Amino acid sequence: MSGTSALYAGMVTHARLRPRAHRLGYRVFSALFDIDELPQLDRSLRLFGHNRRALYSFHDRDHGDGSGRLRPWVETKLLAAGIEPDGGAIRLLCYPRILGFVFNPLTVFFCHDRNGQLVAILYEVANTHGERHTYVIPTRSGDGPVVEQECAKDFFVSPFVAMDCRYRFRIGPPGDKVLVSIAEDDADGLFLTATFAGRRVPISDGRLLRMLLAYPLMTLKVVAGIHWEALKLWWKGIPVFAHGKAAAPIGETVVTVADRR
């Protein structure tokens, strides 16, 4: 079908440098959903459902504030960052539900104006404690094909990573390819990188069926992989930091346009 929604097949890789080296790599695929195209996808695809049960599905309440009203939620965050929403495209890169189950460690919202210019990126991070936090960061007018952003870490993600850290994002927005790379620094510098690099494939019933065969039970494997890698880190003697409960189960950090100048 036509439109900007698509699938991206690729690899997730993590590399830890300190205090013990640790690397992982998993084949995955993500979906890019234009939120205004979701009703059309629901009607045109037999294997996909929007806010309903299907082999693959996307539920609005899985993201944002949980109200199921994604565009108003995103536009409120843009306003808080000093950006006036004008109805431009909002596209998010995430794992879809497969057989009703999903866990998204990171969902990336690409927010555009009516002229197609990328004006902000929202990074929605979830942990296994049922909490999520969104980092709202405007783009700069001089950003090239790869967008570089940064902000302080304000949300507990892994028991093997301290809170006193800073994120550096390097983003190749979705086109024929997509790149989401996050470098994490502590007081001693870079110690962890996480990257998803994928290649675009069209979204169709045939492609969704092939993805099911190529990546069986992928969303369950995401959670299993998180716990398996945690066990290996613990075995290597990586220090463990206690979970600091978030002030609210859904939170945000907003970087304003003024902050980015």
User: How far apart are the C-alpha atoms of 147 and 143, rounded to whole Å?
Assistant: 6
Measured at the CA of 23, the angle between CA 197 and CA 135, to 5 degrees, comes to 55
**Overall average pLDDT of the 175-190 stretch:** 96
Burial of 15 from C-beta contacts in 10 A (0-12 / 13-18 / 19+): middle
pLDDT tens digits for range 92-144: 999 999 999 999 999 999 999 999 999 999 999 999 999 999 999 999 977 78
Quick check: 170 pLDDT over 90? yes
pLDDT at 165: 96
Specify the pLDDT at position 68: 95
CB-based contact 55:64 (threshold 8 Å) = no
- Is 1 a domain residue? no
Contact 224, 51 (CB under 8 A): no
Calculate mean pLDDT across residues 23-37: 97
Could you tell me if 218 and 208 are in contact, meaning their C-beta atoms sit under 8 angstroms apart?
no
Has residue 23 been placed in a domain? yes
Question: Residue written as tokens 């790379």?
Answer: 181
Better-scored residue on pLDDT, 248 or 133:
133
pTM of the predicted structure, to 2 decimals? 0.96
DSSP character at residue 136 = E
In a domain, 92, yes or no: yes
Is residue 183 in some structural domain?
A: yes
Q: Is residue 118 part of a domain?
A: yes
Q: Is 13 domain-assigned?
A: yes
Number of domains in the chain: 1
On whether residue 155 sits in a domain, the answer given is yes
Identify the domain containing residue 157 by its residue range.
Answer: 6-260
